[in-house]
A and B are shown apart, each in its own frame.
Chain A
C-alpha cells in the first residue's frame, strides 16, 4: 500500500546529489565560494594595503609578492583579490535589481496582457535593440564615469532580458489548467499570480540570472577598462588591466586581474549550465 511507497520515495530523494554539486558545477561552486570567502575576510589577513606602494615598482612575481608589483609599487596579487570586493557586489546588485524589475515588468505584461503588455514590451524591445555594452557605455558616459553610475547603467540595460523571459513563462503557465481551476474556486488575481503562476515561471530567470552574473562581471570590467567604470586608483579588475596595458612588458600586472575575471566568469557559467540542466523546462513534468 501507499504506506510502503512513501518512505521509499523519501529515502531516494535524500540520496541523489543535486546536479550543481557534481562535475564542473562543483568546481564552479568551490571557486565561487572561495572568491566570496576571500572577498569577505580579505582585510583580516592580507599583509598589504591595496592602494599603498609596498615595494619597488614593476617587480616580477616572487614569494613575497606573488604577482609582482605595479607601476606604483603596489602588490598586484593583493590588489586583484581586493578587486573581488568591487566586482562581486556590483554584479550581485545589478543582477538582483534587474531580476526584480524584470520580474515585475514581465509578470505584469504576461498576466494582464492587452495594452499593459504592449506598452511594457515595446519598452523592452527598445532597450534590447541596442547592444548591451553600447547602451551601458552611453548611459555611463551621460551620467559621468564612476563605478556607481556604471552600476546604474548596467541595471538599466540588463532588466529587459528577464522581463521577456518571465513574460513568456507567465503566458504559458497562465493557460495551464490548475490556474483555471483555482479561478473557478474563487482565488483572486494576486493570489493566482503569486502562488500559482510565479513559482512555475521563475526558473528560466533564475538560470539566466546565474549565467549572467559572469557576463556582468565582464561588463563591469569592460566599462572600467575604457575608463567609464571604476577609476584609478581603484583595484577594480578592468581598471587594473588598463593600468597593466601601459606596462606591456610587465605582463603580470594585466594578467593577474585577467585571470581573476576568467575564473569568476567560468565558475558562474559552470553553475549556470548545471542549473539549466536541472530545471530544463522541457524535462519538467506536469
Chain B
C-alpha cells in the first residue's frame, strides 16, 4: 500500500480543520487548519511534540471537546462530523471511529469488571444484544487481544490487571463494535518498553485482520517506523511535513522533521550528548510571525518570518517550509498571502 490515494476513497477526510479554545486570556488556536486523509487498512501516524495539536485534532473531530470552537470539515465517509448533532456523533463514536487513550491506568472504570464495561459499551451501540451474548462476546474480544484465560479475566476489576493487560482491554473495548477507524492516542507511552512492542504488534495485527484504518498519535518515531504507512508531522497546530514513512525517514524535508530524526538515539553512533532541538515548542497563544518554527530553526532566513508557508512538494513528501520546498511549486514568501 504505497499510495492509497490512487486506489480508494478515504474513510476519514479532514479539511482545513481549526480548533480554538476560548480562555480568559484570549483565544488559543490549538489547531490551525490541517488536512488529513485516512484509508481502509492504512496506518497514518501523526507525530509531534506535546501541545502540537495532534490529540486535539482527533478529539475535536469526535466532538469530545465541548468547550472548543471547531471549524472546517471532517468527513467520515459521507457524514460531516463537524457540527453533527451530539446523538448522531455518539453513534459514530465507538461504532465507526473508536479511540484508545494514552493511559490505561486511568482510562478504565475502576468500579466495573472488565466484562461489564465491555458489555455496556457494546449494548450502548447494539440495544438488541442480550447481557449474556454481550458477555460471551466480551470473552472472545479479550481472547482476540491476546489476554490469557479470557473467561476468568472477564470478571476481573481493572486494578487486578497489569498496565499492558489494561491497554489490551482498552483496545478490546475500542474494537468491540467493529469500527472502521481506530484512533490510538499515544497507546504505548504509559507502558514498559517490552509491553510497548507487544501492544504495537497487536494493533498491527488487528489492522490487517479487520482492514482497520489506524490513526496513531505519537511522539515516538520508533513506533512510526515500525507500524505506520504514512506520517504527518505536526508543529504548532499545523502539518509541517507529510508523506510515506519510508520517504520521510530517508529524506526528511522540513527542518523540524530533520531535527526530530536527529534526536533519535542511535546504536551505532558515538555521540556522548543526545541531540536535541534547541528552544521550546511554540506556544499557541504567542505564535511567532511567519513560520512558527523559525525561532528554533537553524536554516531560518530573514524571509521565514514574513509569511507562514503552505504545504509544497519536497522529493516524495510535502513540506511547509519556504527554504527547502521545491521552488517550482513552492509558495514562496512573495507569493504567500500576507
> Which of A's residues lie within 8 Å of B, judged by CB?
2-3, 6, 9, 176-178, 180-188, 191, 195-196, 199-200, 285-286
Contacts and interface: CB of A to CB of B under 8 A. Distances in A.
Given A178-B106, A199-B111, A184 B91 contact: no
Contacts of B94: 184-187
22 contacts: A6-B152, A6-B160, A177-B106, A177-B107, A178-B106, A178-B109, A178-B110, A180-B107, A181-B101, A184-B62, A184-B93, A184-B99, A185-B121, A186-B90, A186-B93, A186-B124, A186-B125, A187-B94, A187-B121, A188-B90, A199-B112, A286-B106
A176 B90 contact: no
A200 B177 CA distance: 26
Contacts, number: 77
Which residue among A2, A178, A185 has the maximum number of chain B CB atoms within 10 Å of its CB? A185
Report whether over half of chain A's contact residues are helix, strand or loop; otherwise say mixed.
Answer: helix
Interface in B160-174: 160, 170, 173-174
B213 interface: no
Interface of B: 59, 62, 64, 90-95, 98-99, 101, 103, 105-112, 120-121, 124-125, 148-149, 152, 159-160, 170, 173-174, 176-177
A200 B98 contact: no
Contacts of A177: 101, 103, 106-107
Contacts of B109: 178, 182, 195-196
Contact of B121 (A176, A180, A182, A286): A182
In the A-B complex, the 5 residue pairs with the smallest Cβ-Cβ separation, listed nearest first, are A186-B94, A185-B94, A186-B93, A184-B99, A177-B106
Contact of A184 (B101, B111, B120): B101
Contacts of A196: 109
Contact of A180 (B101, B110, B149, B173): B101
B106 A176 contact: yes
Nearest to B152: A6
Contacts of B125: 186
B107 A187 contact: no
Contact of B107 (A6, A181, A195, A285): A181
B64 A184 contact: yes
A285 B107 CA distance: 14
Contacts of B90: 186-188
A186 B101 contact: no
A213 to B, nearest CB: 25
A183 B98 CA distance: 10
Nearest to A3: B149
Nearest to A199: B111
A188 B124 contact: yes
A183 B64 CA distance: 7
